[in-house]
Amino acid sequence: QAVEDAEMQLAIVNARPSQEAKDVAYSSLLFKQKDLQALDDQISRLENQVRSAPDENIKGRLRQQLSRLKIQYIDLKADIEKVMKKK
Q: In the prediction, which pLDDT does 7 show?
A: 80
The per-residue pLDDT for 15 is 77
Q: Burial code of 40-50, b = ≥16 C-beta within 10 A, e = fewer? A: eeebeebeeeb
What local confidence, expressed as pLDDT, does residue 87 receive?
Answer: 62
Mean pLDDT value of segment 20-33: 90
Rounded CA separation 50/65 (Å): 10
- Higher pLDDT: 44 or 25? It is 44
Q: pLDDT (tens digit, 9 = 90+) per residue, 39-74?
A: 999 999 999 999 999 999 999 999 999 999 999 999
